[in-house]
Structures are given as C-alpha cells and as structure tokens.
Amino acid sequence: MQVQTVTIREATENDLEAIIALFADDPLGGHGDTNDPQALPDYRAAFRKIATSPNETLFVAERDGEVVGTFQTMVTTTLTARGASALIIEAVQTRADMRGRGIGAAMIGFAVEKARESGMRLVQLTSNAVRTDAHRFYERLGFSPSHIGFKMKLK
C-alpha cells in the first residue's frame, strides 16, 4: 500500500524546481514548460503570486522525501446557489513513473476533504478532452462530467 507513504503538504519555494520538472515532463499539456534555468525567474514570480494570494494554495505530494505530484486549489465565491463557495482544483500533475499508485487519488481526496471541512458546496476542475484516462479517474472519484470547459488562448 504505497499510497500510505504519500504526504500532501503546502509547497515551499524549495520545491519549485521539482514542481517545474513535473510540468516539463508532461507530453500532453503543451504549455511550453521547461527546466531551462532562464525560465526560472518567471516561475519564481508566479510562485510568489500564488503564495501571497489569499484564495490560492499550491500543494505537493511527497514520497520518500521526493516531490512526486502537485496540484493547486483556489477558493471562489459566487452569488449563485445563495452565495456558495466552491473549490477549484488546477494544475494537477503526478510524476510519470509514479502513476497508478494512488498518488493522484490522494491529492484529489485531500482537496475534496478540505472543501468539505470548509462547508463548500462544490469541487470543480477541468481536464483536457484528450486525457481520457484522467476522465475515468475523476469519475471514479465521484466527479460528474457535467460541463464543457471552454478556453480562449490570448497568446
């Protein structure tokens, strides 16, 4: 039961390069992420924005002292549903050689539990339409594919 050895904790700036490596290794994302040291200042600036945002939190999954996964949460309040709050999960990534070991389930489960404890109405996320494995994963965890996620790239 290797999943039991996974720790989910808030990321620190010391985790930054390990987290970037997870995104740089993603063949499907197509977000242009890279371990190139020249890009590090951009990532560092983004890390600090997230760290100082009251609504956003960046997490890592750690196993045997190594970062093996990451995700980010954002709390949002809308007037709909009588002014309910929801938790949005973004930028979920598990290290390629660590898939199928329950790390993703541990990360998402952690986020859902946090939302439940805070009395939120909803947890939501979007997943690229081509990631059919991820879709099965989210449905297994109790998510419903009830919406279409529309994106417009500006650059």
Residues 117-146 that bind a second copy (CB under 8 A): 119-129, 135, 138-139, 141-146
CA dist 27 and 6 (Å) reads 24
Among 46, 96, 133, 136, binds a second copy (CB under 8 A): 46
Tokens found for residue 29: 């994302």
Residue 12 within binding range of a second copy, rule CB under 8 A: no
Residue 115 within binding range of a second copy, rule CB under 8 A: yes
| HSE-CB of 42 using CA atoms within 13 angstroms | 9
CB of 93 to a second copy, least distance (A): 8
What DSSP element (H or E) covers 116?
helix 103-117
Which of the ranges 1-9, 34-42, 59-67, 95-103 carries the binding residues for a second copy, by CB under 8 A? 34-42
Closer Cβ to a second copy, 5 or 141, answer by number? 141
Among 31, 35, 96, 133, binds a second copy (CB under 8 A): 31
CA dist 82 and 70 (Å) reads 32
Q: Which of residues 51-110 bind a second copy (CB under 8 A)?
A: 53-56, 58, 70, 72, 74, 76-85, 88, 90-91
Minimal CA–CA distance to 110: which of 126, 97, 123? 123
Residue 25 within binding range of a second copy, rule CB under 8 A: no
What DSSP element (H or E) covers 134?
helix 132-140
